Structure 1
Amino acid sequence: MKTMKKLLIIPFLFMGLIFNSCQEEGIQIAQDNPQEAIVANSVVANLIQQTATRDGSYDNIIDGASCMNIQLPVTVFVNGLEITVDSEEDFDVIEAIFDQLDDDDDSLNIVFPITIVLSNYDEIVIENQDQLQTFIDTCGGENEADDDIECVDFVYPLTYSVFDTNDNIISTVTINNDEDMYNFIHDIDENDIIALNFPVTLIFSDGTETTANSVQELEDILNSAVDFCDEDDDNDYGDDDFDLEELNQLLVTCPWVVHAMERDNDSVSDTYRDYVLLFEANDSLKIKKRNGVIVKGLWETSESDNGVVLTLNVEGLNDFTLNWYVSELEDDKIKLQNENGNRIILRKNCDIDFDQTIARIENILKECFWRIAELEINDIHYEDQYIGTPLKFEDDGVVKLRINGEFVTGTWEIVEAGSGFALQMTFDGRPNLNLSWLITELENDKIELENQNSEMELEKVCPDADDAIVFINEALIDGTWGVAYFEEDSVDMTTNFNDYILDFLESRRVHVTGNGSDFGGSWMSFRNDDGQLKLALNFMDHDIFYELNNRWRIIEITNIRIELVDYSDNGLIEKKVVFEKN
């Protein structure tokens, strides 16, 4: 509110003397030069008030409204976590929680009551979300034009001289902040002659300072600030904004992988996840499907009132062909959006070898062992027949399948299949594998294959590349073991395995003796996609040892003891086995 030092009413005869004093020089200038006066609802008065208007965008990550703020502290639940927001630094915490997951199903619930502060500095107590939503609905949408000028600020304090023509009173008003300025301009009466005491210093959002020495100079400066910067009125925190050049440079740095995708509010992530987009400098676009097939298209970027637009045009992939608004840009992630529920999340991956060839696929297959994680033929699953029996692709078209520690030899070849590639294998006595498998997805550690009504998934196992696996293998190979405990459905069945001796051989054959028996099986330790350590055992249908055929989860292992469990679909332990060294 304005505070005025009222001066004595002086006779009109002496008014000119007062006007000529240093203190009231601005009033005299305003009288002699009307263009230097600041009057109610004038262009410059409106610009001053817009500059002093309270910016409500800095807490948009909470309220999504740029025309008001929530008074701090406030308590919120972010994706179920309770956060007390005491300062703007806590907005970083909220954004970090949001950024942990890419599904964009984030939630933020405010604990009421709260106090909001409007753009005119009025404070209102809000009791519930419906009442808050009423005020939010009065604001413009995200990044829509609004009245406040955020790209320049006054340097305070500054002073006005005010002459009330009705009462012949001259006052000096000191302005210390934006709220003082907003209310002062709002309260100007049509009978007031207002003179701003120049010079006035202003500072732009980029840190540069400028000085106005007249009303006209001030008006010009404020007008220039209207579009000087991005006001960052989006609903995240901090300035994640960017320009066209930054986007163009980032797109061509590396391949980008589809992490999630929606069209018309329906998830199509299962269809397009792991598709790879390669943006080339000549506006050419290549999209590689999971089976290695490459589709060509075009890309271009442009600017709009709603931000930067990435236009994709890919023949045969209509779900990608759209004008996408770039809603978020980070060094390793891009979020694209369009109205009507369309969204893509891309992740940068500079390790991808985009242009696959037969030679490159062969090199991937020959790197390590490959376990048969899934094998489905005519809706029947056969992967349990291959527990602990990985494939080894070797030079000269030789492929080996390890059964009971011994390798069964077959042949393999990568061939072109239409616009993709296929893996052809032959094994005597293994008709389920003797197919020409179309490669539908190819990664460095996983391959998915199809053949009419058949599907197979291979996962790479590199025993020497994981210290935990190396320890497990060395512990098992060093000495012989016995079954110290076996439980199934909470029933102790340990006695069935008494007096049996298991010898885990380096060839991954496990030799079983005891009770007049002498037979073998296969074993393999590995780490699955979830990072869990596993021990695969396969004794085929040998006596009671078929009960141990499983991909066991390793719960505990030392040099002399290993504990394994098998969980049911509802997370309960179905089986448990403990091996102890003899």
Structure 2
Amino acid sequence: MKSLFKLTLTFLVFAVLTFSCQDEEVIIENPSEEEVIQPGSSLSNLMRMTVTNDGAQDNLLDNSSCTEIVLPVTITISETTITINSLDDLWMVAELLNNPAGNDGIEFTFPITVTFGNYTQIVIENQDQLNSIVEECLTEPEVIECVDFVYPISFSIYNTDFQVIDTVQINSDEELYVFLDNLDAANEGAVLASLNFPVTLVYANGNTQEVNSNQELETAINQAETDCNNEGCQEEQVGYYLTDCFWTITSVGDEVGTLSNYYLYFNEDGTVTVHDGFTTVALPGLNWQVEGTTTGVYLFMSDADTYLDVVNGDWLVTSCGAEMLVLQKDTDAEVVELVLEKNCTTDESPFSCFSNTTVTACDYDADGVTTFELETLVLGNVLCDYDFTPSFHVSHADAEAAMNALPFPNSYQNTSNPETIYLRIESNSGAFQVFEINLVAEPCATDCSEADVDGFLQTCAWNIVNYNGSNDLIDFEFNFDDNQVLTVTGMGATYTGGWSTSQSANGGVEVVFDNVAGPSIQAINGSWIVIDCQPHRLEMVMGDNHMVMEQQNCYSSDELYTIATECRWEVYSYINDQGSDVTSDYDGILYSFFENGFVVAENGITIGYGGLTAENTATEQLVVLLHLYNSVSGIGNYYTVESLSSEEIVLSSFGDAELIFHRTCNSTNQDGDTAQIKTWLYEGNWEITYSSMDSADNTSDYANVTFDFQQGTNLIGSDGSSTANMHYEVLRDEAGDLRMVIDYLGIFPYWQMDDDWYITEVNNQRIELHYINDDANDESVIVFEKI
């Protein structure tokens, strides 16, 4: 085959330029396949997680596990400015933030520098830039914090014949991360590396372990990730946490909850105050002290007697946080665990969280009587840090006596308008206070007129998203015609009924449904009062029934084509009309959409093609016809556009099919050769100087026909008396071959050109196309020459 274009395949060569190499001769035996560090393997991933930069260490500063602030850094909290020189200083930040005056948060002195998990760094100039980076952190890096490598370590680099070509020495976590990253990027295993053993690991508690094989290394890292529960607590942190508030004993040893009614307060003078819910006493005999040692941070407690003697001993802090401390001590018989949880509510009352208030509810029929959801309206908006027990009463005397509480406060119907009821709030100590709740039933007026509701309903289709708290009717689609005919589609059937609107006596809008006879959906028949009116959402009531309707998305064909033509797309999900998930049938197929409705689908070297036409219905719904040929034709159907965004297109058929495309911009079927061919095609008109079909010469079919290859994949063929509007595309397939797709199934002779052709020869004057990728094959051939 003659071709003016040739592909040059450039192999990626792994160059280790950032690491120092051993100059001395190293005698290394050729490794087995098991000794090679395979890119993407479990061991490679574990090693990468072990050396990934841990951005979670300073979350108190930046609230992001994706970044680490490069220290030192200067910050201001409530007009107090401090410099953080190391992670050990973070306890000072916690102390300032926990102070009531610290609610304003942290102000950095910019510029600052942040380091990402892959050790790249950027300079942050202001708070907005920092906020943007934090918001972009959607997935926290996977980090194994409890084990480190003892450096230096070294790798042997082999070629594919397992011959040593280099030895690389690694001296830090960052160097090892970059090495593994480059190893993963090496071309399809063309570069092999094995770790030279022995290798030493050091754990968070200071212990070390020597490993001598890949398997031992993988086991050691896995075990470290499982066993490590020492969160690197600092002596100052633990002391600050303990003196900040009361603590309860959640469990000690096998006993859970037996001492949870006691609240411990660790005084700064080394004594402990105990609150049992009724009295507060100091236990002068119970002393405490926090001390950091080489094996960790310890809480020493001594001289406690009677009911609290179980806390005596030397407790190692194994997990620490502002809300919970986990400690362990060794006894002759076993290791005992003590869990303390912070509780700041023991000596505070909840009464400041409440006040006398007025609540309103919608009076649907304007008779002054309605249902009040008291728990939702009164208690739902209360933010209180203190425990309390609420109850509602119809009289002040009942509230004070804690008698005759309303049994169902969330469905209370008023007896007068307005009406006052009483809320009793009781604290854990038994103290209480009574508050007045004024109930007012108001007419359910909306901001919409009858004309507004008519216009909303007749725009796009609607769904019932809530019917008496259920979404059982959501699969029914409602279309409101301007002649008051209602069409309901769903559950494989279509029903018709009537609809109308009117202005109600109290100024609201009523929507009437009648003669809707389908199963389940007939429940909507009747007169509904609109209580909340928005262009895309209507909330209505009818007696005790409640219904919310929401408008489906309405899009234009321009919006669809603008988004669809930005990149290629792949099938993310396809449920066919029979309800079967056949997504896997379309794996690997890439779809290209063009503004003129042309569609090209590539499945390896198989090219499918067809069209996507779109138009809006009378109710503004965007309906499309997707038709394709060859092996990709199965998704062809009529669809409604349900959702449209720059990353996803969701289509649903008039049956049960749902087709979801996701955008993929990581590959292209275009290159410099395809661009050059298109440029030549645009530069003048062309004619067919030779054509064969099924090995028969049919060149004469195209006598006097000229072809105009236009930008935008339009191809115009004309013999002076008739014109054919065709589609075409020039691309390079996954095998690297140049292809031309011509789409047309109209008049003779142009329908004979409809196919996915191989370009076997091309220059600025001549293009030769073959159905078989062989320039010597004469079965089906088209030769274009410039006029």
TM-score range, shorter chain: 0.3 to 0.5
Q: Which has the higher contact order (CA 8 A, sep 6+)?
A: 1
TM-score by length of 1: 0.39
TM-score by length of 2: 0.30
